[in-house]
Amino acid sequence: MMTATPTEMMTIAAARLLTNQDVCFVGIGAPSAACNLARLTHAPKITLIYESGTLSTRPSVLPLSIGDGELCDTALTTVAVPEMFRYWLQGGRITIGFLGGAQIDRFANLNTTVVGPYDAPKVRLPGGGGAPEIASNCGQIFITMAMGTRAFVDRLPFITSFGHGKGKGDRAALGLKTKGPTKVMTDLCVLEPDPQTAELTVVSLHPGVTREQVQAGCGWPLRFAADVAETPAATEQELSVLRDLHIRTKQAHGVAA
């Protein structure tokens, strides 16, 4: 039997959420791996869109960035970035936004800007790019992030992409009509916003993971659902397809598999 690593389990859990009917705005890295795994397994008709303007792209390897030629070469068409954001994203035509981040708080707000004070940060991060608009305009947001106390923090130094603010109702108060983050997939568990408070709550533990392990990787006291499920183990098909995808990617980018 093939056994998934924690990172593979995170990717597979995220991929399972997607369907053939989804139009998905894809982030680079773990979100891209999850979306393309779904496309190569149970959701071959999913529409994948990247920030550079590639519509219905079907890459054979994972892109290095949104400007990777693989995306344009395999897309149905490529549109200008202003059209991508104004017509497709802000026009409400995208069902799922798939994001990652450097830091996340208990209400699924994301930071990709700075660690530490903004004027004198310990680390200056890449910034938001299109993520703030994705977080606001896609029908709902799925987030993939590995757990750790440096990433799951009690208080963000900067909010780059708005999740649920300080709790339920904050999105609506800003005039946002989309659902915001509805799932956070990590290497240890799956979290969802509590229906009453919007605080992230553990709803599923990956095989072999304990509550204590999950709490040790989080910077605030976690809430657990009344009935915490166990994430179904990765299938051999899921693992084979995912690993083949990563091998092809490494070979295409000149990295020894």
Angle formed at CA 30 by CA 15 and CA 118, multiple of 5 degrees: 135
Pick the catalytic residue from 51, 70, 199, 238. 51
Per DSSP, 174 falls in state: T
Amino acid at 176: L
Whether 51 is catalytic: yes
With a CB cutoff of 8 Å and minimum separation 6, the contacts of 221 are 215
- The closest of 112, 126, 207, 226 to 158, measured between CA atoms, is 112
- Read off the tokens for 30: 């773990």
Amino acid at 214: V
Cα distances from 5 to residues 29, 31, 63, 211, 243, in angstroms, run 16, 17, 22, 18, 11
Task: Specify which residues 124 forms β-bridges with.
Answer: 114
- The closest of 151, 183, 152 to 16, measured between CA atoms, is 183
In Å, how far from its chain's centre is CA 7? 13
Residue 121 near residue 115, CB atoms below 8 Å? yes
Q: Three-state DSSP class for 244?
A: helix
Q: Three-state DSSP class for 137?
A: helix
Q: Which residues are catalytic?
A: 51
